[in-house]
Amino acid sequence: MIGNSPSVEIGPFVVGEKPMILRYTFEDSNGNPLDLTGYTGKFSYRENSCGVGTAVIRNAVVISPQTDGKVEYTWQGDEFPTPGHYIAELWVGNNAQRFASILIKFDVRIPVGVVPVI
């Protein structure tokens, strides 16, 4: 059940915002960084009203040195098309293993006016 999953909240955000890079460290059960050498990263997110919907999947980057377990996603600026409650995950995999981050939650509100071109 998503509502009771371990999670972290980020934001809040506004429709049209482009936040700072999102970074996450994958760790083993002892809290040590996973060696992500040879892994690929992905970022998956969706609006969470009614608990259904199709997730958008974007590329994320495993940061060098890969032995530090760090992955980052650079926001494109179109991830917040509508106000609402969103959920997301970062993923890494190498065809043999695949790991998901804890659940990432964020709220998005409407802007006061037109989003400026800046």
- Residue 66 sits in a domain of what CATH number? 2.60.40.10
Indicate whether 117 belongs to any domain.
no
pLDDT per residue of the chain (118 residues) written in tens, 0 to 9: 455 678 999 999 999 999 999 999 999 999 999 999 999 999 999 998 766 678 999 999 999 999 999 999 999 999 998 999 999 999 999 999 999 999 999 999 999 999 888 8
For 95, the domain range is 2-109
> Is 40 contained in some domain?
yes
Predicted confidence at residue 4, as pLDDT, reads 66
Within a domain: residue 99?
A: yes
What is the reported pTM?
A: 0.89
For residue 116, tell me if it sits in a domain: no
Q: Could you please report the per-residue DSSP string of 93-118? A: E-SS-EEE--EEEEEEE--SSSPP--
71 assigned to some structural domain? yes
